């Protein structure tokens, strides 16, 4: 489906890709990962044809329909359901033509094609996707213009999924979602029948959905089999092996050089010294393991306070005369790690705004410790940063009585040192702006951190650094996030915000996920029962489609078997090569019998040659399968 061949690309004089190569077979799901700013979104733009390579090529199967979420959210008076339905342009065109066509043959062709593409079930499919992304039946009938930008981006995502492209490109698809919608999207993408390439820093999504990882680092694309956890494990093993091989090579180089230095002046040893010099020249250096820059978070620990920090008694809160949450009886202590769960719109952000004094309660009593200090993080706060000022200027204004040393010391806790602390905010990445917000919110060593979607602009490594910092922090944490991995590792209890209230949820995230799935299954059963009572005709018969799929599977059975055999063989060869390299990394091997060393080296080369041949056979078979399926369609 996608071939990136020796591709080089420069942006503003900076090399983003240097002879990068990648292959994504049809039907595979791949996650594209790498540090922020390495060029992941740039690769998407090259796939879409918006940018062109400086050298090499980025090729997509010519007949493939590519789908991606539009950068501009839909707006205007069109309802959500109609906006999504319009994304299937073929269906929309056929329906329009059916209204005006007069030729009987053409009319028959139109209706046959509408049946082929399941046009009859399209409204139900569109409604299911919108419901999964958080829009109930009433919301689906409302115009796009009534919704905020984040909600309209969900509509754009729904439209892309509904169009069912052959090749789906998604760039951080969970960023505008709540936890509930993110969990639905994971399940939807896991069963997606087409080819998927997704940029994501959401570890849960990368573990649930994809079966391959492409890692963009040092201007190269490296492909790994398996999900994100397996990628990390494999990468660590490769780095450790590479470090051992480099250490072994350096030791051997020093030994040979010592021999040369000792005997090069002796006539009897001159030829041997010369031979070893040539040996040194022929040695290809093993690249050093590159430790990428580590993201830093370090929240200052607060002074202890007597419990409770905050207590709510029969509190109601909302906007104007309309309460969103009622009868809240809640308490937060210093050792609390609380995750707020519940669909967007149920009042999670409203609750946090009241707890940080951005909203006044409408009724009830709120008791807070007189010495309480609160830190509040929300993504919209990035808009409040002055683009023409540096992080140092922001922090100096927030700490007017502090010395320059103290200001820079606090910025250093969050990775702002040297030139970065004095750079203008306008040149900072989204993740760097988030780190600046973390630094600003923690200047007074708050007793509670209220975090509303803190990971949206952070890459995977930065998220792991945030997890570690939060677990080392001594104060309380109240967290709203779609990142299930963050909740799992940081929170020890959940508050469920639903039905106009907030209460302690007696269970963990896994049981809450199971509850959501059961609720969705029950909703589908109820909907089917309602249709049956209304006499709604059943969906189009799918027997013929199933027979066609069975025929295609039979035609490609031999090829698919060869692919499976090759994949098993490649995995076995990879293990064999790793074992041989481990033995070759042992310095004792070089002090032992020469024959044993030579046998290991020969076996290593032979295994690598066989692996290369097997990979080529696998690629040829996979491409043959793709071609057969394209012809059948």
Q: pLDDT for 75-116, tens place per residue?
A: 888 899 889 888 888 888 888 888 887 887 888 888 888 887
DSSP 80-120: HHHHHHTT-HHHHHHHHHHHH---HHHHHHHHHHHHHTTGG
Q: Are residues 412 and 500 in the same domain?
A: yes
Q: Among residues 506, 521, 555, which one ends one of the domains?
A: 506
| Helix residue ranges, H only, 475-593 | 484-490, 509-534, 543-555, 557-584, 587-591
Q: Are residues 195 and 332 in the same domain?
A: no
Q: How far apart are CA 219 and CA 414, in angstroms?
A: 26
pLDDT at 290 over 50: no
Number of structural domains in the chain: 4
Q: Are residues 464 and 413 in the same domain?
A: yes
Question: Tell me, what CATH number does 596's domain have?
Answer: 1.10.287
State whether residue 244 is helix, strand or coil. Answer: helix
Q: 538 pLDDT band (50/70/90 cuts)? A: very low
Q: Are residues 558 and 498 in the same domain?
A: no
Q: Are residues 150 and 217 in the same domain?
A: yes
Q: Are residues 34 and 165 in the same domain?
A: yes
* Of the candidates 419, 205, 429, 449, the residue with the CA atom closest to the CA atom of residue 334: 449
In a domain, 437, yes or no: yes
pLDDT of residue 12: 74
Q: 322 pLDDT band (50/70/90 cuts)? A: confident
In a domain, 620, yes or no: yes
pLDDT at 613 over 60: yes
pLDDT tens digits, residue range 210-248?
A: 989 999 988 889 888 888 888 888 877 766 666 666 666
Q: 291 pLDDT band (50/70/90 cuts)? A: very low
Q: How many CB atoms lie within 10 A of CB 186?
A: 20
In a domain, 532, yes or no: no
| Buried b or exposed e, range 234-268, using 16+ CB within 10 angstroms | beeeeeebbebbbebeeeeeeebeebbeebeeeee
Q: Are residues 137 and 60 in the same domain?
A: yes
In a domain, 305, yes or no: no
In a domain, 520, yes or no: no
In a domain, 530, yes or no: no
pLDDT of residue 289: 42
The CA R_g of the chain, rounded to the nearest whole Å, is 30
pLDDT tens digits, residue range 465-522?
A: 888 889 889 999 999 988 888 888 889 889 999 889 999 988 888 888 888 877 777 7
Q: Are residues 391 and 478 in the same domain?
A: yes
Which residue has 């979420």 as its token pair?
69
State which residues form the domain around 442. 310-506
Q: Among residues 215, 232, 249, which one ends one of the domains?
A: 232
Q: How many CB atoms lie within 10 A of CB 271?
A: 10
What are the tokens at 181?
Answer: 């919608």
Q: Among residues 506, 533, 567, which one ends one of the domains?
A: 506
DSSP 436-473: HHHHHHTTT--SEEEEESTTTT--HHHHHHHHHHHHH-
CA 172 to chain centre: 6
Using an 8 Å Cβ cutoff, are 29 and 189 in contact?
yes
Lowest mean pLDDT among 17-21, 37-41, 316-320, 556-560: 556-560
| Helix residue ranges, H only, 264-316 | 270-282
Helix 179-190 × helix 509-534 angle, to 10°: 70
What are the tokens at 33?
Answer: 């990962």
| Buried b or exposed e, range 492-524, using 16+ CB within 10 angstroms | eebbbbeeebbeebeeebeebbeebeeebeeee
Q: How many CB atoms lie within 10 A of CB 571?
A: 11
pLDDT of residue 524: 66
Segment of 403-412, 509-518, 544-553, 607-616 carrying the highest mean pLDDT: 403-412
Lowest mean pLDDT among 289-298, 405-414, 563-572: 289-298
Question: Tell me, what CATH number does 59's domain have?
Answer: 3.40.50.300
* Of the candidates 412, 349, 410, 337, the residue with the CA atom closest to the CA atom of residue 380: 349
Q: Are residues 254 and 132 in the same domain?
A: no
Q: How far apart are CA 389 and CA 384, in angstroms?
A: 12
Q: How many CB atoms lie within 10 A of CB 570?
A: 17
Q: Are residues 173 and 265 in the same domain?
A: no
Q: How many CB atoms lie within 10 A of CB 436?
A: 25
Using an 8 Å Cβ cutoff, are 458 and 427 in contact?
no
What residues pair up with 365 in beta bridges, in sequence order? 313
In a domain, 433, yes or no: yes
Q: Are residues 242 and 208 in the same domain?
A: no
Q: How far apart are CA 482 and CA 471, in angstroms?
A: 18
Q: Are residues 216 and 256 in the same domain?
A: no
């Amino acid at each position: 489906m996608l071939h990136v061949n020796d591709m080089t690309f420069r942006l503003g004089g900076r090399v983003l890709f240097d002879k990068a190569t990648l292959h994504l077979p049809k039907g595979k799901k791949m996650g594209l990962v790498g540090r922020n700013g390495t060029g992941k979104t740039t690769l998407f733009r090259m796939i879409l044809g918006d940018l062109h390579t400086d050298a090499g090529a980025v090729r997509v199967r010519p007949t493939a329909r590519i789908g991606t979420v539009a950068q501009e959210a839909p707006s205007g008076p069109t309802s959500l359901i109609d906006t999504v339905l319009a994304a299937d342009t073929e269906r929309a065109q056929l329906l329009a033509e059916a209204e005006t066509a007069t030729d009987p043959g053409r009319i028959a062709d139109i209706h046959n094609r509408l049946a082929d593409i399941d046009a009859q079930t399209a409204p139900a499919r569109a409604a299911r996707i919108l419901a999964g992304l958080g829009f109930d039946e009433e919301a689906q009938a409302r115009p796009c213009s009534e919704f905020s930008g984040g909600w309209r981006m969900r509509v754009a995502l729904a439209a892309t999924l509904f169009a069912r492209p052959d090749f789906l490109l998604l760039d951080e698809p969970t960023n505008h979602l709540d936890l509930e919608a993110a969990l639905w999207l994971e399940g939807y993408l896991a069963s997606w029948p087409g080819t998927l390439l997704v940029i994501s820093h959401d570890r849960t999504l990368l573990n649930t959905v994809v079966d391959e990882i492409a890692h963009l680092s040092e201007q190269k694309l490296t492909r790994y089999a398996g999900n994100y956890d397996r990628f990390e494990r494999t990468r660590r093993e490769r780095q450790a092996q590479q470090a051992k091989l480099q250490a072994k090579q350096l030791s051997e180089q020093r030994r040979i050089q010592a021999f040369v230095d000792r005997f090069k002046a002796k006539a009897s040893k001159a030829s041997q010294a010369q031979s070893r010099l040539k040996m040194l020249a022929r040695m290809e250096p093993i690249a050093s393991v590159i430790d990428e820059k580590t993201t830093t978070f370090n929240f200052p620990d607060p002074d202890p306070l007597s419990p409770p920090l905050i207590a709510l008694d029969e509190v109601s809160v909302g906007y104007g005369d309309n309460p969103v949450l009622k009868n809240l009886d809640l308490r937060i202590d210093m050792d609390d790690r609380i995750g707020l769960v519940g669909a967007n719109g149920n009042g999670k952000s409203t609750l946090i705004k009241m707890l940080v004094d951005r909203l006044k309660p409408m009724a009830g009593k709120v008791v807070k410790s007189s010495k309480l200090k609160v830190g509040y993080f929300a993504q919209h706060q990035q808009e409040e940063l002055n683009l023409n000022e540096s992080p140092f200027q922001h922090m100096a204004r927030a700490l007017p009585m502090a010395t320059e040393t103290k200001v820079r010391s606090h910025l250093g806790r969050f990775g702002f040192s040297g030139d970065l602390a004095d750079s203008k905010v306008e040149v900072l990445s989204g993740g760097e702006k988030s780190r600046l917000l973390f630094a600003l919110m923690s200047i007074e060593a708050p007793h509670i951190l209220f975090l509303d979607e803190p990971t949206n602009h952070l890459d995977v490594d930065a998220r792991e650094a945030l997890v570690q910092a939060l677990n080392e922090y001594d104060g309380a944490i109240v967290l709203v996030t779609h990142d299930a991995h963050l909740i799992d590792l940081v929170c020890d209890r959940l508050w469920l915000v639903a039905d106009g209230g907030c209460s302690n949820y007696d269970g963990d995230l896994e049981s809450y996920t199971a509850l959501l799935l059961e609720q969705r299954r029950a909703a589908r059963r109820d909907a089917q029962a309602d249709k049956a009572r209304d006499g709604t005709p059943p969906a189009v018969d799918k027997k013929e489609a199933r027979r066609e799929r069975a025929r295609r599977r039979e035609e490609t059975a031999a090829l698919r078997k060869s692919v499976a055999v090759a994949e098993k063989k490649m995995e076995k060869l990879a293990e064999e090569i790793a074992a041989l390299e481990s033995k070759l990394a042992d310095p004792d091997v070089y002090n032992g019998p020469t024959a044993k060393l030579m046998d290991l080296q020969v076996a290593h080369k032979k295994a690598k040659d066989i692996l290369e041949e097997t990979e080529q056979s696998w690629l040829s078979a996979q491409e043959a399968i793709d071609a057969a399926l394209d012809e059948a369609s």
